Amino acid sequence: MNARSRYDHLTSNRQHFLDIAVECSELTLPYLIIRDEIRPSYKDLRTPWQSVGAKAVVTLASKLMLALLPPQTSFFKLQIKDELLGTQLPAEIRSELDLSFAKIERMVMDSIASSSDRVTVHQAIKHLVVGGNALLYMGKDGLKHYPLNRFVVERDGNGNVIEIVTKELINKQLLPPEIAEIAEQKNRNSNSYGLSGDDVEIYTHIKLDNNRWMWHQEAFDKRIPKSEGKAPKTASPWLVLRFNSVDGENYGRGRVEEFLGDLKSLNALAQALVEGSAAAAKVLFLVSPSSMTKPQTLSKAGNGAIVQGRPEDVSVVQVGKTADFQTAANLASQLEKRIADAFLVMNVRQAERVTAEEVRLTQLELEQQLGGLFSLLTVEFLLPYLNRKLLVLQRNGQLPKYPKDLVNPTIVAGINALGRGQDRESLTAFITTIAQTLGPEALMKFINPDEAIKRLAAAQGIDVLNLVKSVEDRNQEQQRQLQMQQQMMLAQQIPDYLKAPALDPSKNPKAEEEIEALSQAATQTPIPPQQ
């Protein structure tokens, strides 16, 4: 079965999830997810009556983005497997390895910062929040995102991806000559079969085969030359993401779907309030049919004009729905609050009494609410993304290679992970507790200062090259200080030596030679020891 037929076959299983995703997108960000059409028309998109949904999606996506790929720290760390320390590797080299791993981590984060990965990941996270599904491809030019209407997926009974088919439009000028010729022929005959103007439908078929990912591209049911690719199972460039997973389902569920009822109700109330307020704001004057006052006279009269008539003949129409408007507004306010709480829309009070500690506690509470959402994204996004990133950088020579059977990459993003900041705080608290409990003497007796400094630097992610003095440098400084002290003591003792009979020229013929030798010893510059 070719890729196009396989895509059409798997589309029926996706249709239900795509319909829900489109409905969720219409209430939040209408442009985000649309129907599976060759030429989508954005003119038919309807704007929702409220902006609460859009603000909620953008806010939650931004918070998840900062938590998954923080810009100021590393979201992972490399460490030696604990069972190998003391057996295959000496335990005393752990600090040196941590410093080396911290350097590799900085190189990886610098590579991510110099690319556009964060922009693409943020777009994918918005799709996850709204539609619950997204597909990322890690190519040579960076990340590429596929929305739900452009890919189908099949999973096994354990939820593992075994097959992916994507559909995209590519200009025929970018295709090989033999495929472009077929496109020209199809265009002359009819404007169908995956051809729309100068664009051609390209299908990419990705399948897991013998623990390796294999893929190729097809156009007009023919394989495109040089479109094949393969990758290890643990370092695939194709990342299928879900927000929430349900057993037995090939696709995920989004956050918006969980609160779709509140968003529908809020949208209906917002429409009623807007239309009702517009009707209430309309000014209409009523003139009694039996009155002598003519409506034409009133309509043509200018400001301050004098006309004939009676005041009781003219009245103003007022919509007596103020109580109903108040009820609708109160309900809409309650819905907005529920949605804001669900999507972590936090408004920090702008006041002088708002302390930094209060803000920190509020942020900690938000992280605790988000903690359960990281587990699935860690398994399906962060770990495959990190493994693929390390593999590509090592192949390009931008990253030193390390033994994979000895090193364990660990994700430190999320509330439950032990990040480097927590490592630093734990180490600092341990040293402080020893000093406070047992005294500074016990601290100097039991704690190795060199090891403590190395671990603090590794936990902080700081490069200690030419920053922290080595043991050899400190020994050389101690030797030079000792020599200088000895010279100073000798210089202070020279006047007393001159008074001795042995240094009296009248009694000792060699007194002048000994005095000169003492002077040179007191003034000469110490020679540092050879390395």
Q: How many independent structural domains does the chain possess? A: 2
- Note the pLDDT of residue 417: 47
Last residue of a domain, one of 257, 276, 304: 257
- Note the pLDDT of residue 475: 74
Using the predicted structure, report yes or no on whether residue 413 has a pLDDT greater than 70: no
Confidence of residue 358 (pLDDT cuts 50, 70, 90): low
Is-contact 126 32, C-beta < 8 A? yes
Structural domain includes residue 477: yes
- Distance of alpha carbon 287 from alpha carbon 295, whole angstroms: 7
pLDDT tens readout for residues 190-204:
554 444 567 889 999
pLDDT tens readout for residues 232-279:
998 899 999 999 888 899 999 999 999 999 999 999 999 999 998 888
Phi and psi dihedrals of 247, rounded to 5? -60, 130
Last residue of a domain, one of 232, 257, 282: 257
Which residues lie closer than 8 Å to 431 by C-beta, 6 or more apart?
443, 447, 452
Structural domain includes residue 143: yes
Structural domain includes residue 234: yes
- Note the pLDDT of residue 367: 63
Percent of the chain at pLDDT above 70? Answer: 75
Domain containing 216: what range?
Answer: 3-257
Count of CB atoms situated within 10 Å of the CB of 498: 12
Greater pLDDT, 131 or 367: 131
Reported pTM: 0.75
**Average pLDDT score, the chain:** 80
- Note the pLDDT of residue 418: 40
Last residue of a domain, one of 239, 257, 275: 257
- Note the pLDDT of residue 502: 52
pLDDT tens readout for residues 51-63:
999 999 999 998 8
Structural domain includes residue 330: no
Structural domain includes residue 362: no
Structural domain includes residue 37: yes
Is-contact 148 17, C-beta < 8 A? yes
- Of 240-254, 388-402, 437-451, the range with the lowest mean pLDDT is 437-451
Structural domain includes residue 223: yes
Using the predicted structure, report yes or no on whether residue 120 has a pLDDT greater than 90: yes
The stretch 418-447 carries a mean pLDDT of 73
